Amino acid sequence: MELGLNGKVVLVTGGSKGIGLACAAAFAAEGARIAICSRSQENIDRACAALPNVLGIAADLIDAGAAVTVIDAVESELGPIDVLVNSAGAARRTPPDELTPALWRAAMDAKFFSYINAIDPLVKRMAARRSGVIVSVIGAGGKVAGTTHLAGGSANAALMLATAGLARAYAAQGVRVVGVSPGLTDTSRVAEGLEADARLAGISTDEARRHSIGRIPIGRLATPEEVAAAVVFLASAKASYITGVTIAMDGAQNPVVL
């Protein structure tokens, strides 16, 4: 399927590993011009070695000023950003008895503000150009409360509302804003979450993984590449009438009517 992404400028936050890296690779395969950012220069270097001709920038998007600096650098080097993919940051999964107000705040910084700090300046630039797409990889925890993911799930829920509201606010100016909410995906972040689940239940991490997979009707974790395929489609002209929604990808684990 021709998606019309050849030559488009795409910024993938959190693009050095996991779902973000899979998204960068998928857009590159469509001929897009890719920039990625990550807090870790080491991860950036590793990703750029795997994906030639990708612009890599190390930055912590919890800092709003750093997010603007990244956007400015990408647009100076590659041109106006056509697509923003948010995949940076994840709240630490924590058993409820270990939560503190500081950890709740850290979760909002790590997930909500690391996305909003990139979205806010860029959606306004896209609106001024009357063109652009923002796709946020959010997470199923924003709709289904997980015991070890209460703080992060709250951040995800806030991102879902922001996605819907920004889509409505900027639709008339040619900007689409959508979300993808993966369930359990085979990444290092999910592995860390399973360790927290195991501590809470007093079982091994392997057993926690088996229990988690057993609750997924499709019978396995998602792959980062499967999530990336959905992101690339949503960013393309083939999805030109899709905006303001967050699409679940959880293998039918939570079969709800939206």
User: Can you tell me whether residue 5 is helix, strand or coil?
Assistant: coil
The share of the chain scoring above pLDDT 90, in percent, equals 66
Backbone angles phi, psi at 83, to 5 degrees: -135, 130
pLDDT tens per residue across span 7-46: 999 999 999 999 999 999 999 999 999 999 999 999 999 9
Give the side-chain half-sphere CA count within 13 A for 18: 21
Residue 257: is its pLDDT beyond 90?
no
Backbone angles phi, psi at 132, to 5 degrees: 155, 160
Cα separation of 88 and 42, whole Å? 15
Say how many C-beta atoms besides its own lie within 10 A of residue 81's C-beta: 23
Please compute the mean of the pLDDT values over residues 224-247 and round it to a whole number. Answer: 96
pLDDT tens per residue across span 84-100: 999 987 777 777 888 89
Backbone angles phi, psi at 222, to 5 degrees: -70, 160
Confidence grade of residue 5 (pLDDT, cut at 50, 70, 90): very high
Q: Which of 73, 144, 152 is nearest to 115 (CA)?
A: 152
Cα separation of 15 and 100, whole Å? 30
Q: What is the CATH number of domain 9-249?
A: 3.40.50.720
What DSSP designation does 111 have? I
Q: Quick one: pLDDT at residue 208?
A: 73
Cα separation of 21 and 25, whole Å? 6
pLDDT tens per residue across span 150-188: 888 889 999 999 999 999 999 999 999 999 998 877 766
- Based on the number of CB atoms within 10 Å of its own CB, is 82 exposed (0-12), middle (13-18) or buried (19 or more)? buried
Q: Quick one: pLDDT at residue 197?
A: 67
| Lowest mean pLDDT, pick from 10-24, 88-102, 136-150, 200-214 | 200-214
Q: Quick one: pLDDT at residue 212?
A: 74
pTM of the complete model:
0.89
SS3 content of the chain, % helix, strand, coil (to 5): 50, 15, 35
Cα 21 to the chain's mean position, in Å?
11
Please compute the mean of the pLDDT values over residues 110-114 and round it to a whole number. Answer: 93
